[in-house]
């Protein structure tokens, strides 16, 4: 399993670290649940030192996720677009088969809904949240069930609630 270090501003670049299953025992990491956009910052970009690749939105998502995880005291975060080498069919297959476990074992799960509003207190805000693209993708149920808790963020990275507090809307 590869993880991103959550301190790119300290090193001047995004850094991936490899951990064996044995090294993962007891390792505390955050995980990001999100919707892929057309121009994502991907594994190859990080390995090749091309962090300027991908859209500005994608780069911002990765850096904000790292920032949030660091602020919450986590050294590492797993983000599928950056941590899986999709050029390797074996690695991609292993990742797909292990994803429930990785979400379950993460100490923090951040769900980034780029099309969600900052305020869910109005009927319009709640409706927009419920119509988010995040709910219409294949991994949503797994990413809701596996982690102990999920913290939801709007497109501005504003915290908008947790799985437990948003259960009525999630249902």
pLDDT value of residue 49? 76
* Nearest by Cα to 65 from 41, 98, 48, 45: 41
| Rounded distance between C-alpha atoms, residue 168 and residue 92, angstroms | 34
pTM above 0.85, yes or no: yes
Q: How many CB atoms lie within 10 A of CB 8?
A: 18
How confident is the model at residue 132, as a pLDDT? 95
Q: Which residue ranges in the chain fall short of pLDDT 50?
A: none
Write the pLDDT tens digit of every residue in 74-100: 999 999 999 999 898 998 898 889 999
pLDDT at residue 163, rounded to an integer? 95
CA distances from 33 to 54, 70, 90, 121, 153 (A): 18, 17, 22, 23, 10
Q: Report how far residue 124's alpha carbon sits from residue 128's, in angstroms, rounded to the nearest whole number.
A: 6
Can you say how many angstroms the Cα of residue 161 is from the centroid of all Cα atoms in its chain? 16
């Amino acid at each position: 399993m590869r993880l991103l270090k959550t301190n790119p501003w300290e090193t001047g670049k995004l850094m991936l670290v490899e951990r064996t299953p044995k090294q993962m025992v007891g390792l505390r990491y955050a995980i990001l649940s999100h919707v892929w956009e057309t121009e994502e910052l991907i594994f190859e970009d990080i390995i090749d030192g091309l962090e300027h690749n991908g859209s500005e939105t994608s780069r911002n998502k990765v850096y904000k996720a790292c920032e949030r995880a660091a602020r919450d005291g986590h050294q590492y975060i797993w983000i599928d677009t950056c941590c899986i080498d999709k050029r390797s069919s074996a690695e991609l297959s292993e990742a797909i088969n292990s994803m429930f476990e990785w979400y379950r074992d993460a100490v923090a799960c951040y769900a980034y809904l780029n099309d969600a509003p900052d305020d869910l207190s109005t009927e319009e805000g709640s409706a927009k949240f419920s119509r988010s693209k995040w709910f219409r993708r294949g991994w949503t149920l797994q990413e809701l069930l596996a982690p102990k808790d999920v913290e939801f963020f709007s497109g501005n990275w504003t915290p908008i609630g947790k799985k437990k507090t948003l259960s009525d809307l999630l249902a």
